[in-house]
Structure 1
Amino acid sequence: MSARGWRLLGGWALALLLALAFAALGRWQLARMHEKEHMLAAAAQARSQAQAQPRPLLLASDPARVQAYDWAEGRGVLADATVWLDNQQREGRVGVRMYCVLLPEDGAQPLLVDAGWWPLGGDRALPAPGCPRMVDQAVRGLLAPPPAEGLAYGAPLARQADGRWLAVRLDLPAIAAALGLRTRIAPRVLRLDPAHRQGDTGVMLAPGQRDLDILPNTLTPERHLGYAVQWFGLALAALVTAIVLTIRSRSR
């Protein structure tokens, strides 16, 4: 085979490898799109249970429903602890989410309760409110998987000077150990009903900006679809480039 033939063969091999790699990335983006569409549909179905038949808080400990969504309500006692989750975005602003630890009265595992989002100023001082101490509490909302941890590096949480905890990710075993809990924390968190405000059936949690958005810090299905189209477009471009270069080489 001539030198030109070897160059053409090498060029096609490179083009095929690039096309396969780009197509694989496109397929991964499509898979993520379908996964998040399923998450949104499951959360919407759970919210439809709000006026029907809420589930008990005990369901938060069900290992078979770790990635599921359920509308639940119940009562419990708030532990003397406040955990702030850092780097939480809302409408383009950076802030923190306040989590309280609820000890359900039905004897279920301790449960993290998402009490809402708070903005952070330039000095990054944590908001003044905190979780009430050892208060009997009525709660209702969406049982959901905790926020994704992302890249896990460094200590998951650190104690602040005022005794509250600032976490960079919700590492449930680490939080349970730091708070001195005798049992594990339930694998799902309770996203409080935005309509469940102070004064409703004994709610005493400080009213942060609450929502039931399950994709606050991640890409939406539409964004994943857009990235998939881009990757497939690059795969097609690699093949078209190889064809054009082959035609030009033969014409010369």
Structure 2
Amino acid sequence: MMRQHTRLLGWLLAVPAIVLFCLLGHWQLQRMTEKQALLDAAAAAAQQALSLAEALQAPGPVHGVADRGRFLPGAVLLDNQMRHGRAGVKVYRPFRAESGALLLVDLGWRALPPDRQLPRLPPAPPPGAVRGLLAPPPAAGLALGPALTATAQPGQWLASRYAAPELAAVLGVGTLPDRVLRLDPTLPIGDERDLDLLPNTLPPQRHLGYAVQWFGLALAVLVVALLLEVRHRRRRAGRAAGG
């Protein structure tokens, strides 16, 4: 009877573990597919040159943009942005195209000193041409604490995450899309930047590797459970034959 209870307990532990490992593997495959789709869209977008209004209306997460307009007052510093192994902020300013389309433009990254003294920003770039990639904003992660904090500089806000409604409210621009313009790094405005859509995160290949590991763990637990079950049945058959 004791062995029967141990066998039952073993299966009660093995089955949830197998299901959990399979779910984790499936989630990693989903992340791989999502990120690969984003990279594929970025490659196709590099051949595009849509106006901002056209890009905001077009299906898909990423589009190439070339347009003209002007930057509006106000600036947002997105906190906790890593580059070259250093912590810093990304600088965003609202931009309105000549067509009236509006969004935040990523003007690049600035390092923060150890005391986290926020940088004093230069004036907004003059009206003119912009180009780059219309893409999703940086991932928010865990939404802990307020999304925005006022800084000592008038019209400048420190953001812990990209929250379009709150940003639009403090900047006084009505509404903002849940996408930003990643400015072409060759343009002579802003700070250090690139068009990497997956910074500080795992590439699709790593997600595939983790998925294989999780599915491998599920298979290992299943094999061990089956081997123990086969051994148990052989023992029982042997006892029955001996009796």
Residue 196, structure 1, aligned to residue 195, structure 2 = no
- State the TM-score, normalized to the length of structure 2: 0.88
Which of these residues, 159, 168, 172, is aligned with residue 180 of structure 1?
172
How far apart are residue 10 of structure 1 and its match? 2.4
Q: Deviations over 1:62-109 (max 9, x none)?
A: 2x63x521111111121111111111112322211110111211122x
Q: Is residue 75–residue 105 contact of structure 1 (8 Å, CA) maintained in 2? A: yes
Q: Which runs of 5+ in 1 are unaligned?
A: 198-204
Q: Deviations over 1:189-226 (max 9, x none)?
A: 110111122xxxxxxx33x1110011113221122112
Query: Partners in 2 of 1:30 and 1:57 — Cα distance?
Result: 33
How far apart are residue 187 of structure 1 and its match? 2.9
Residue 55, structure 1, aligned to residue 46, structure 2 = no
How far apart are residue 246 of structure 1 and its match? 4.1
Query: Partners in 1 of 2:163 and 2:182 — Cα distance?
Result: 17
Which of these residues, 137, 140, 145, is aligned with residue 136 of structure 2?
145
Query: Partners in 2 of 1:4 and 1:141 — Cα distance?
Result: 67
Residue 147 of structure 2 corresponds to 156
Residue 78 of structure 1 corresponds to 71
Query: Partners in 2 of 1:235 and 1:131 — Cα distance?
Result: 56
Q: State the aligned residue count.
A: 234
Structure 2 CA distance for partners of 1:243 and 1:212, relative to 1, 3 Å? same
Paired letter, 2:5: W
After TM superposition, the structure 1 stretch with the greater mean CA deviation from structure 2, 146-155 or 242-251, is 242-251
SS in 2 for 1:128: coil
Query: Partners in 2 of 1:189 and 1:230 — Cα distance?
Result: 35
Query: Partners in 2 of 1:87 and 1:190 — Cα distance?
Result: 19
Paired letter, 2:76: V
Residue 236 of structure 1 corresponds to 219
Query: Partners in 1 of 2:172 and 2:4 — Cα distance?
Result: 70
The structure that has the greater radius of gyration is 2
Query: Partners in 1 of 2:89 and 2:136 — Cα distance?
Result: 18
- State the TM-score, normalized to the length of structure 1: 0.85
Which of these residues, 88, 93, 100, is aligned with residue 100 of structure 1?
93
Residue 45 of structure 1 corresponds to 44
Query: Partners in 2 of 1:59 and 1:89 — Cα distance?
Result: 31
Query: Partners in 2 of 1:130 and 1:14 — Cα distance?
Result: 60
Query: Partners in 2 of 1:121 and 1:246 — Cα distance?
Result: 61
Query: Partners in 1 of 2:122 and 2:229 — Cα distance?
Result: 68
Q: Is residue 55–residue 64 contact of structure 2 (8 Å, CA) maintained in 1? A: no
After TM superposition, the structure 1 stretch with the greater mean CA deviation from structure 2, 170-179 or 232-241, is 232-241
Residue 194 of structure 2 corresponds to 211
Query: Partners in 2 of 1:88 and 1:126 — Cα distance?
Result: 13
Paired letter, 2:135: A
Structure 2 CA distance for partners of 1:130 and 1:238, relative to 1, 3 Å? farther
RMSD of Structure 2 on Structure 1 (CA):
2.0
Q: Is residue 81–residue 131 contact of structure 1 (8 Å, CA) maintained in 2? A: no
Residue 119 of structure 2 corresponds to 127
Structure 2 CA distance for partners of 1:140 and 1:126, relative to 1, 3 Å? same
Residue 223 of structure 1 corresponds to 206
SS in 1 for 2:72: strand
Query: Partners in 1 of 2:56 and 2:229 — Cα distance?
Result: 61
Structure 2 CA distance for partners of 1:230 and 1:44, relative to 1, 3 Å? same
Query: Partners in 2 of 1:128 and 1:113 — Cα distance?
Result: 18
Paired letter, 2:103: L
Q: Which runs of 5+ in 2 are unaligned?
A: 237-243
SS in 2 for 1:149: coil
Residue 202 of structure 1 corresponds to none
What is the aligned-residue identity percentage?
50
